[in-house]
Amino acid sequence: MSDLTKIPTSEQIKRLPKALLHDHLDGGLRPQTIIDIAAEIGYTALPTTKPEELATWFRESCDSGSLVRYLETFSHTIAVMQRREDVVRVARECVIDLARDGVVYAEVRGAPELFTEKGLTMADVVEATLEGYRLGEVEAKSEGRNIRVVSLLCGMRQNKNSQEVAELVVKYRDAGVAGFDIAGPEKGFPPSDQLSTFEYLRRENAHFTIHAGEAYGLPSIWEAIQLCGAERLGHGVHIMDDIDLTGATPKLGRLAAYIRDRRVPLELCPTSNLQTGAAKSIKDHPIGKLGKLRFRITVNTDNRLMSQTSMSNEMQQLVDAFDWNFLDLQRVTINALKSAFIPFEERLAIIEEIVKPGYLAISAE
């Protein structure tokens, strides 16, 4: 048996180099950071000021199976990210936490409009976020960990600010902003509502992904790809609705076949998808079947605080549920890097570093 066909141990998974495409900045705060900032600004709405209890509260509140209830928990994290120094701190700690988990490349997204309640402009938020990422990269390097983190800017699909956010993507794309996304409640707010913004991004040769197929079905996915031109799908888990598994051989519908054949990346977030009702358990999560059908699947955290998760935890669950080996984990990592919004040469350099010493060396330890 070659090294890559072995089942990794938990310690090996922790050390593996990882790539992350779908992670929300305001969904990954350290509980202690929330408590610290809340005390400084006089925010008294937290359910508890004990870090472990707060972490548990977020997880339990998000286990309801409702995307709407899930999104409500963000009121607390958004409340403590209204000052410039707090945005910088959260972004810096995000990078450090990811690096300590073995992440070597990450695209972390956030909606600038959410952090403007106390006077910051959206441009201020973007600049503070990028400063935090750079500080975090330096600190991670001082710990002996190399990581590259870029920003994705989100428009909120229920609001009217997407065009301004898209213009910030173009303005800051040479400073660390890699692309655009729309987030927020999917039902009732189809991607086509933002069509003019996506047309603007395409004219500007800017990258974008779209949350679609998370809490709503195939029409959302179809619009994201065929009307709006998304390069990737944020979640996209409901593409399973277009796959017939009742016969001896799975039969793909037209949309599912198009997405697989065109190698459209799926930014799957297993734990988060369970919390929002897309699957009942990790064993039931479509990622196992989609991987066997050779869709371009990637593994992501979505909101590390709300899901009490990490990339290592997501990978561990998939190893436990589907007997994934080193090769499976390497495949989803390379899928993510192939699908990243940074230049080809930079993607290739990271892939070469991972393939050369990464999985093979670790699997032999």
Which residues are designated catalytic? Answer: 214
For residue 115, the Cα-to-chain-centroid distance in whole angstroms is 19
Hey, which residues does 243 pair with through a beta bridge? 252
Task: Tell me the angle at which helices 311-322 and 326-338 cross, rounded to the nearest 10 degrees.
Answer: 130
The rounded distance, in Å, linking the Cα atoms of 143 and 161 is 39
DSSP state of 225: I
Kindly report the length of the chain.
365
Secondary structure element (H or E) that encloses residue 32, with its range: helix 31-41
DSSP state of 103: E
Two structure tokens written together for 212:
């679609």
The rounded distance, in Å, linking the Cα atoms of 139 and 162 is 33
**Three-state DSSP string of 260-302:** HHCCCCEEECHHHHHHCCCCCCCCCCCHHHHHHCCCCEEECCE
Are 31 and 305 in contact, with CB atoms under 8 Å apart?
yes
